[in-house]
Structure 1
Amino acid sequence: MNERRGITPYLSIKLAKQFNTANDYFMILQGYEVKKVSDKLEKATPDLAWFRKVLFWDTDIYKLDWQKNRQSKIKRTLF
């Protein structure tokens, strides 16, 4: 709860007994963990060894957000 820790199946069953709901109800509500994993996957960076640093002379290549404005980064590397 409150994005601090995940709800285990044991805890879900225990809460379900207290609130008189289905055993998997609280496991279904645990959508933030899926969001965390998807955010990590979105922020994946390419292998920087393949890029010449001179292509990104005006920025710090290690601090780039590779998902934001990805079209311009593709154009910069290919053309």
Structure 2
Amino acid sequence: MNTYLAKFRGIHPGIILARELKKRGIAQRPFALSVGEHPQTINAITKAKRNLPTSIALKIEEKLGLEEGTLALLQTYFDIQVEKSKIKPITPNLSLIRKSVFWDTDISQIDWDKQKYAVIRRIMERGNALEIKEIKQFYGAALITEVLKQKSVEAYKLNP
């Protein structure tokens, strides 16, 4: 099990199943019927269009002689990876941004969401390449472009 988890952690277990079936020369349809599942279900799982339920994972593991829980754990690791990708950081990586760029305010007190327009303008005006890259990664290219298109006459200020 450890080799599977180390090798395939974060990959959908259906992709691993498809690979295993191909390696063993087993067709999907007869395999699905042999474990008591609909061929369409196994097909959707192997195409990573459907999650692998624990009940089906246990049947597959038994049939293929895999250690119990291997595919179920792979599904869990995949789910964790999906959830991590959904989480947006609350602040950019502050170790990449010089405090001197925000000389007039305490950088730890900046509300990165409410003051995003001022932050973007400040970094684009006074930041170095690394800081600009971090802000682009944090806010996204679409928002950066939108802010840069705006021609604001009024001064912008960061208020903590």
TM-score (norm 1): 0.52
- Taking structure 2 as the reference length, the TM-score comes to 0.30
Paired position in structure 2 for 1:22: 67
The answer to which structure has the higher helix fraction is 2
Show the 5 A alignment for 1:1-79.
1=14, 2-30=47-75, 31-42=77-88, 48=113, 51-52=114-115, 55=118, 68=137, 77=158
Offset at residue 56 of structure 1 (A)? 6.0
Measured in 1, the distance between the counterparts of 2:90 and 2:116 equals 19
The Cα RMSD (Å) is 3.9
Look at both structures and tell me which one has the larger radius of gyration over its CA atoms: 2
Unaligned 5+ segments in structure 2 are 1-13, 15-46, 92-110, 122-134, 140-156
Provide the aligned length of Structure 1 versus Structure 2.
65
